[in-house]
Amino acid sequence: MTVFRYHAQPDGSGRKRPYAQVVLTYRRRTYEAQMLVDSGADVSLIPFAVGVDLGMRQHSGEPVRYLRGAGGRVPVLPRRVTLRIGEHPLRAQVAWVQDSSPLLILGRSGAFSRFSVEFREFEYMTVFRHVGELDAPLPAQA
């Protein structure tokens, strides 16, 4: 079981949001990131600069795709990466954003199929329990 504390939004509003510490790996390069846990997002999003740091590039003739969400229409390229949440790595498809958007979002695809994810708003924490740990008790109130 892995527990993450909520963090204040970077916009200065003081609102706390569920972020998770995730290690992304692509072709032997790694990037450690605080990702917003978004149960309403179908897919995880990584910013253009993070993809470049991981060694991603657009292949010749590869078409840009577009996702629609609360933020509007977002140009992306799909990529398969390894996400590590706590001690648990998993392969997942992410959408590598092709504009200057700073989005780092952990969506349902991949992560939510391997973890029970509990948002404990009243404690400002998110609990990730890997499918192999589902018999473990929930953490005590902090």
Rounded distance, CA 92 to CA 110, Å? 5
pLDDT of 40-76, one tens digit each?
Answer: 999 999 999 999 999 999 999 999 999 987 667 899 9
pLDDT of the residue at 100 = 87
Long-range CB pairs of 34-40, under 8 A, 24+ apart, other chains included: 34/7, 34/104, 35/104, 35/105, 35/106, 36/104, 36/105, 36/106, 37/4, 37/106, 37/117, 37/119, 37/126, 38/105, 38/106, 38/107, 39/108, 39/112, 39/117, 39/119, 40/70
pLDDT of the residue at 136 = 57
